[in-house]
Amino acid sequence: MTLVAGIDSSTQSCKVVVREAETGAVVRRGRAPHPDGTEVDPEAWMRALHAAVSDAGGLDDVSSVSVAAQQHGMVALDADGDVVRDALLWNDTRSAPQALALIDEVGGPAEYAARTGVVPVASFTATKLRWLRDAEPENAKRVAAVALPHDWLTWRMRGFGPRASSDFGPDLDELTTDRSDASGTAYWSPTTGTHDHELLALALGHDAVLPRVLAPHERAGIGAGDFRNTVVGAGAGDNAAAALGLDAGVGDVVISIGTSGTVFAVTPDPVIDASGTVAGFADAGGRFLPLVATLNAARVLDTIARLLDVGHAELAELSLQAEPGSNGLVLQPYFEGERTPNLPDATASLFGMTMASTTRPTLARAAVEGMLCALAAGVDAVERHGVTAERLLLVGGAAQNPAVQTIASQVFRRPIVVPTPGEYVADGAARQATWALQGERPTWPVEVAAQPASDHRPVIMQQYDARRID
């Protein structure tokens, strides 16, 4: 039996899934937590990776491994392979002013989108490099190479890194990445498939080594240490890996409801949106992944559940006691600012409060409706760029909530499928590891947990649109 492993190094934790290469059957799993915060010492990810591998029973019998990780994070390395400063993560919004400056210097959002498929916001790596240049100029001058979280982990797994703690030393030319993660930097073009070093220098103040971009089936190399003699795949950004894990194809739109929310589709051609609403990313399978992201998703339900002093099961029960539209109560859920629309300093607002509408059930339902309406706006944005949504795949922890499933069938206009809960990012990495090992993309089955009947209620989205701030 040939075994492969997929790694999901997310914002909150590291997860390892070991699967049988032929059937995709899960053999064992492991996980370990990551530290909190929006800036993290990357060595914490490496420690968590080793702990998760140990929790999964080790990888001595695994033939191939691949890493999927949180996108956009800035890992700045000096010439000796040392991390210059703690990595700034995707959800660190301090670089919002730098995003505006970069857009202006390039000639506006349309020009930037034409060059990279994206319009910079605080999430993207280029803006974080400009922040480093502005706020910590001495650190910026030390930067010899820039990597993303999955790039850096893949490099370290192959035995490269600082001289004192690696087998092969700081060979920066051995850094690798893939199309999906490179497309989230704002200095790589999905259309041309090349890095834009002029944009990198505009952000950082000078040129630097960037990881070599591998094809989806390519091998980064062979592992060392705990990963010795193991084929290491190209890796991917987390959303692209999730699409691969779900085996999403053209016509599928994935809606992921985690701490943050994402809407993405697999398309044969690149999408360029000068407004910046849709990020024109690449996928992990050789195609493209237009994506809309929101900062506020399941955390909206967490917040209102705490306010009402209930658990998630009771919040679901309360929400289903109210009628669609929450009797006119509308929650605009920008609790932590927002990425789409690009409002990093925004706060949440509650509209339509009357004596009749301000009840526990209507507030519970308004929370679910507001969260889903923000994601539905993302689906509409993707469709405006020619993407045909034939079905919506609803994933993430909140997707299993019965009230979320019921209300989603009323908010969205397309058929909804809820796959069986799984570690789809790690599963996508495991598929990629199999692809690197065997030369063919595996076709593993994806089980379905629910298919709620369509019950579209236009009033929900109409109310939300009437209050929405863009």
With H, G, I as helix, E, B as strand and everything else as coil, classify residue 34. Answer: coil
With H, G, I as helix, E, B as strand and everything else as coil, classify residue 417. Answer: strand
CA distances from 419 to 10, 149, 274, 405, 445 (A): 20, 27, 33, 12, 11
Total residues found in the chain within this entry = 470
Active-site residue identified among 92, 181, 238, 427: 238
Q: What are phi and psi of 238, to 5 degrees?
A: -65, -40
Q: Which residues pair with 15 in a beta bridge?
A: 8, 31
Identify whether 8 is a catalytic site residue. Answer: no
Q: Answer for the pair 332, 351: CB distance below 8 angstroms, yes or no.
A: yes
Taking the alpha carbons at both ends of the chain, their separation in whole angstroms is: 53
What distance in Å separates the CA atoms of residue 91 and residue 123, rounded to the nearest whole number? 6
What distance in Å separates the CA atoms of residue 392 and residue 253, rounded to the nearest whole number? 5
Residue from 267, 300, 296, 277 nearest 389 by CA = 267
- Type of residue numbered 124: F
Instruction: Provide the annotated active-site residues.
Output: 238
